[in-house]
């Protein structure tokens, strides 16, 4: 485990304990809005808990930056096999309501998925009208 990830875990656990103390004191409230949980507070425990939670996220990302910097020190030999084209081409479609988000490893795959996404949206609208 990276030292930044360990510090992040400590801050995260500290934030959880501070939020629990805030709940017990009545300074912190929580709930679920649609599917998203939330925490709201106006006291000391809420403020320090949010600071700890923010620091946990920050140190967690610093840990990944530190890991990727250590990869630069590893010498890689350049061989002819690594310069070949990939054998796998793929992509995906994420529909957020009627808005499609399309990604792919090549333009051909992305174009096919765009057509597929448009067909899915049209089919969904037609299904909603009929039913």
Q: Angle of helix 44-71 relative to helix 3-25, nearest 10 degrees?
A: 170
pLDDT 10s per residue in the chain (131 long)? 678 888 999 999 999 999 888 888 888 888 888 888 888 888 888 889 899 999 999 988 888 776 665 555 555 555 555 556 666 778 888 888 778 888 888 888 889 989 998 888 888 888 887 76
Distance in angstroms (rounded) separating the CA atoms of residues 15 and 124: 43
Q: Which two tokens stand for residue 128?
A: 């909603």
Per DSSP, the three-state class of 122 is: helix
Distance in angstroms (rounded) separating the CA atoms of residues 87 and 16: 46
């Amino acid at each position: 485990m990276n030292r930044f990830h360990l510090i992040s875990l400590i801050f995260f656990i500290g934030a959880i304990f501070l939020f629990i103390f805030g709940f017990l004191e009545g300074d912190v409230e929580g709930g679920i809005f649609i599917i998203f949980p939330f925490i709201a507070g106006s006291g000391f425990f809420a403020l320090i808990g949010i600071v700890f939670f923010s620091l946990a996220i920050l140190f967690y990302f610093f840990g990944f930056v530190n890991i990727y910097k250590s990869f630069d020190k590893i010498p890689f030999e350049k061989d002819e096999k690594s310069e070949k084209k990939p054998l796998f081409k793929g992509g995906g479609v994420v529909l957020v309501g009627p808005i499609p988000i399309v990604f792919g490893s090549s333009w051909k795959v992305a174009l096919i998925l765009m057509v597929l996404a448009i067909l899915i949206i049209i089919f969904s609208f037609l299904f909603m009208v009929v039913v």
